[in-house]
Amino acid sequence: MILPSFLRDLAVELSASIGGHATVALTGTELYPELHVTPRSPGRCPFVVHAQGESELTIEFGVMSRLAVGGADAEQMAQSCRRLVARLVSGAVTETVWRKGGVPYRAIATIGAGTAAVTVRTRRGLGLTKPERIRYDRYRTSAPSAEAPAINGRHGFTRRMQTLLAPLNGGATVSWSLNDLGVSFVEVRPTAPGPFPFSVGWSEHEVVVGLGPELRVELGPPGTDDEVAARLVRSLLAGAVTETEDDDRRVVAIALDGGTVWTQAATARGSARVHPGETKHFPPFTPKPPAPGH
């Protein structure tokens, strides 16, 4: 199911990028999830995104505004929703609200600016009161960088990741970030098709190796599983990984040094890399060759 899966992935992304400034919660059911984003301090725009199976996405935001996300199919709705959420997070939203007895009954909101602006009109009653205009602030985010940030106290593990990834030398895009919850991330994506993209997140409490949509290896507290995480990363870089989709499950198998195979599985969500029943092998990451004359 594209839309429910999209909301689950969006919840993870928002937790990583604005988690220090908002409570990000996913509620509801498998087919009808709800993504709630509530700012921790006044001034930013709260919002809730509802998925109705594959047929509808709705965003409730601000004081009382409500928008049905349009699109020819589920993929288009997901893309439109992502753009709208990005504008809400960036503070590109204003809302004019009418209240009667303190209760809002009408709102006109604008998301975005210029020709790309979306105007949303919501009404739940009639009245002749003066409106209030609200301009929302942006959520502060932690933007990725090409260099490792000043990390969260796990300096030894950070140096270990830098050492493991240094030989890539341009064979992958390596993005480092630190969110406001004190979780550090490094995302590794190949610059050419083939190798298996992955991410690693670590805090004072855990290490998590991300293996794509809804699939991650959650390891224990500092010190206890650092070596396991390093072995997983070495194997992913070396191409010792396969991915299979079968019986509604997506399975990633990683061959660790020493002969152990680490298997991680999740409900299949239609991986773009693997067809049902297929087992795909991934090549290793390879550094870019030096430029001529160097």
How many CB atoms lie under 10 A from the CB of residue 254? 24
CA-to-CA separations, 22 to 53, 94, 133, 186, 269, in angstroms, rounded = 26, 19, 23, 22, 27
Instruction: Convert the pLDDT of each residue in 201-238 to its tens digit.
Output: 887 777 888 887 667 787 876 566 788 889 999 999 99
Contact indicator for 288, 168 with CB cutoff of 8 Å = no
Separation CA 216–CA 209 (nearest Å):
6
Chain segment 14-32, per-residue pLDDT in tens:
887 787 788 889 888 888 8
Q: Where are the domains of the chain?
A: 2-135, 155-281
Rounded to a whole number of angstroms, the CA Rg of the chain reads 22
pLDDT value, residue 143: 45
pTM: 0.50
Helices (H) and strands (E) in the chain — how many of each?
4, 18
Task: List the one residue out of 68, 40, 58, 56 whose CA is nearest residue 1.
Answer: 56
Q: What is the DSSP letter of 237?
A: H
Q: Which two tokens stand for residue 87?
A: 């504008």
Average pLDDT over residues 8-17: 81
Q: What is the DSSP string of 84-126?
A: HHHHHHHT-EEEEEEEETTEEEEEEEEES-GGG-EEEEEESS-
